Amino acid sequence: MNLAHKDLAGGRWFEFSLLEQMANIGSEIFRTISWRDKNKDYQQKAFERSLELFDFTVLDPKNRKRLKEILRAR
């Protein structure tokens, strides 16, 4: 699997609060929407990056109590 966010996969993602994590995910979703009519390849890559960030968020131990809501958003 090719990670787009290699620096975050190393553990830095877990240093962010849930709010910061969700804001970063939102940025990728915004990019997905922005590329919708311009470039389908860029749109797909932004969508995949957002899913990757969601996966990192799910793996974060501090978010265990909020897992249901996070997975629903994913």
Phi, then psi, of 65 in degrees rounded to 5: -75, -15
User: How many domains does the chain divide into?
Assistant: 1
Q: Enter the pTM of the model.
A: 0.86
Which residue range forms the structural domain that includes residue 30? 14-73
**pLDDT of 19-57, one tens digit each?**
999 999 999 999 999 999 999 999 999 999 999 999 999
Looking at the domain assignment, is residue 42 inside a domain?
yes
Q: Is residue 41 part of a domain?
A: yes
Question: Could you tell me if residue 63 is inside a domain?
Answer: yes
Q: Is the residue at 31 inside a domain?
A: yes
Within a domain: residue 30? yes
Residue with structure tokens 């009519």?
Answer: 37
Distances (CA, A) of 65 to 7, 35, 68, 69: 25, 34, 8, 9
- Within a domain: residue 36? yes
